[in-house]
Amino acid sequence: MPSDATPDPYADPLRFGQRVQILRERRGMTRAQLADFIGVSLHTLRKIENGQQLAPGLEMVMRIAEALRVRDLAELTGHPEMHVDLFIGPGHPRLGAVKAAVDSFSPCSSVEPSPVAHLKARLHAAWKSRHSAPNHREVVGKLLPGLIRDAQALVRTADTARDRSAAQGLLAETYSLAQFFVAYQPDSALLWRIAERGMVAAQDSGDPHAIGVAAWLLAQAHRDSGPRHFDAADAINVEAVRFLDPLLPDAEDDLLAIAGALEFELGYTAARRRDTGTAWRHWDKANDMAKRLPSDYYHPVTSFSRAIMGAHAVTVAVELHQGGESVRQAAQADKSVIKSRPRRARHRIEEARGYQLDGQPDVAVATLQKAFEAAPETIRYNGYARRIILEETETKETNRRRRASELAVGIGLLSA
């Protein structure tokens, strides 16, 4: 190993603070940025990193893990026996089959492509199942290999430029569905292949809606890779918004919705940066677009709708670490019904984060239970939910510890 290489946290029994510093620097975060994210003074964080202060309690450890997007708690603590996957799930049983379908390359394949109308109907049914099934990853994971194979075959055998463009649009949509399945799975390289192939297919299709969806997902992949990738996420979002803007005056609902979803993503990333004014300004713009949609409409990929804007407001407040505001927004958001089960579960998780920030851990655990009831496969693979649950299994408050432990067993964090 070169002498100037970043030390491996597992290599030596380094103090906790040194591990924090190593992981922070790997993330490209300054000490001031991390201190702000975890809610301590710069002086306190400096003392932690310099070993002048004992390793903090579990609550602060989990807060640091969240800020640094640590995938395995052992990486931060230095204790291999504390192996707990946080932001990357344990891997769905169908992940291998989906990966094999994505990675297959058969230029001379004899697979007979499905008719365009048939593949469209299957994709429509797959999205519908994703939104309605509590075990949505299982349902989608079962369908994806066949969808990927047939969409690739349709592109490969297209006879005309028009047919090829239509096939590329369906392939892009299939990759979009695949990215939802692969998110939070232990294969980041696969996620990137899917996101990038989805964008290429969308661009080849020439369909503005497909391009908008692919940009929305690719920007999320960048943003979720950490602060160093926020600029790339913003660049993709800005270009997509600029591309769609001239089309919006007479846009159909789906195109208007993806433009609104992209606008909100700019606000989401701004909130992750702790840029309050920019975050809420983009939320306002997205909300204006949502008001142009029918009251019962929701976008088949992003769930963008009038109803989702309340959930988005909770997310912005949580990312800004505004506990009281996130609770206030949660009360308003509950007046609207989110049709998609996984999106509803995700909203409950964001609400739980808000309650935790606001010093209401009992309500946070109860809200995570609602998330579990809505879609167990959403909470099972969500790092924020896992962090809160794991933290509350250590609380001294008996009833809360019992409820958190039961939930931890339900999502596979603890053994029964």
Q: How confident is the model at residue 107 (pLDDT cuts 50, 70, 90)?
A: low
Between these two residues, 73 and 16, which has the higher pLDDT value? 16
Between these two residues, 34 and 204, which has the higher pLDDT value? 204
Average pLDDT of the residues in 249-255: 95
Average pLDDT of the residues in 346-359: 93
pLDDT at 81 over 80: no
Query: For 88-97, 124-133, 205-214, which range has the lowest pLDDT when averaged over its residues?
Result: 88-97
User: What was the pLDDT predicted at 11?
Assistant: 42
pLDDT at 3 over 50: no
Q: 340 near 251, Cβ under 8 Å?
A: no
Helix (H) or strand (E) holding 33: helix 31-38
Q: 180 near 98, Cβ under 8 Å?
A: no
Q: Burial-class residue 249 by CB neighbours within 10 Å (0-12, 13-18, 19+).
A: exposed
Q: Name the residue among 192, 181, 199 with its Cα closest to residue 97.
A: 181
Q: How confident is the model at residue 7 (pLDDT cuts 50, 70, 90)?
A: very low
Average pLDDT of the residues in 192-219: 97
User: What was the pLDDT predicted at 398?
Assistant: 94
DSSP state, residue 414: S
pLDDT at 6 over 60: no
pLDDT at 415 over 50: yes
User: What was the pLDDT predicted at 17?
Assistant: 85
Contacts of 263 (CB under 8 A, 6+ apart): 241, 282, 285, 286, 289
CA distance 305 to 297: 6
DSSP state, residue 296: T
Instruction: Convert the pLDDT of each residue in 357-371 to its tens digit.
Output: 899 999 999 999 999
Whether this prediction's pTM lies above 0.75 is answered by yes
Q: How confident is the model at residue 80 (pLDDT cuts 50, 70, 90)?
A: low
User: What was the pLDDT predicted at 2?
Assistant: 43
Alpha helices in 273-395 (DSSP H): 276-291, 308-319, 323-333, 341-357, 361-374, 376-379, 383-392
User: What was the pLDDT predicted at 88?
Assistant: 62
Average pLDDT of the residues in 325-354: 89
CA distance 200 to 192: 12
Q: Name the residue among 87, 174, 190, 91 with its Cα closest to residue 130.
A: 174
- Return the structure tokens found at 346: 């995700």
Q: Name the residue among 72, 108, 65, 79 with its Cα closest to residue 14.
A: 79
pLDDT at 214 over 60: yes
* Torsion angle of C-alpha atoms 126, 344, 226, 390, degrees rounded to 10: -120
Type of residue at 164: R
Instruction: Convert the pLDDT of each residue in 371-387 to its tens digit.
Output: 999 999 999 888 889 88
Q: Name the residue among 102, 56, 78, 67 with its Cα closest to residue 10.
A: 78
User: What was the pLDDT predicted at 231?
Assistant: 94
Q: How confident is the model at residue 122 (pLDDT cuts 50, 70, 90)?
A: very high
Q: 304 near 340, Cβ under 8 Å?
A: no
Average pLDDT of the residues in 171-182: 96
Query: For 26-35, 107-116, 216-225, 314-323, which range has the lowest pLDDT when averaged over its residues?
Result: 107-116
* Cα angle 115, 118, 122; round to 5: 140
- Return the structure tokens found at 26: 């790997």
User: What was the pLDDT predicted at 409?
Assistant: 92
Helix axes 398-411 and 361-374, enclosed angle (nearest 10): 30
Query: For 3-7, 164-168, 196-200, which range has the lowest pLDDT when averaged over its residues?
Result: 3-7
CA distance 275 to 273: 5
Contacts of 39 (CB under 8 A, 6+ apart): 63, 321
Q: How confident is the model at residue 9 (pLDDT cuts 50, 70, 90)?
A: very low
Type of residue at 68: L
Q: 134 to each of 157, 178, 182, 373, how far by Cα in Å? A: 36, 17, 17, 8
DSSP state, residue 85: B
Q: How confident is the model at residue 109 (pLDDT cuts 50, 70, 90)?
A: low
Alpha helices in 341-382 (DSSP H): 341-357, 361-374, 376-379
CA distance 287 to 280: 10
> What is the average pLDDT value for the chain, to the nearest integer?
88
Q: 49 near 76, Cβ under 8 Å?
A: no
User: What was the pLDDT predicted at 5?
Assistant: 43
- Return the structure tokens found at 164: 């090829």
> Does residue 53 come out as left (phi exceeding 0), alpha (psi in the -120 to 50 range) or beta?
beta
CA distance 178 to 217: 11
Tell me the torsion sign for CA atoms 251, 256, 262, 264.
Answer: positive
Give me the percent of the chain exceeding a pLDDT of 70. 91
DSSP state, residue 72: B
Q: 360 near 388, Cβ under 8 Å?
A: no
- Give the residues across from 72 on adjacent strands: 85
Residues in the chain: 416
* Residue whose entry in the numeric block shows the structure tokens 């789906």: 254
pLDDT at 82 over 80: no
Average pLDDT of the residues in 317-333: 90
- Return the structure tokens found at 19: 């591990």
pLDDT at 203 over 80: yes
- Return the structure tokens found at 213: 């969806």
pLDDT at 57 over 70: yes
pLDDT at 279 over 80: yes
Average pLDDT of the residues in 258-269: 97
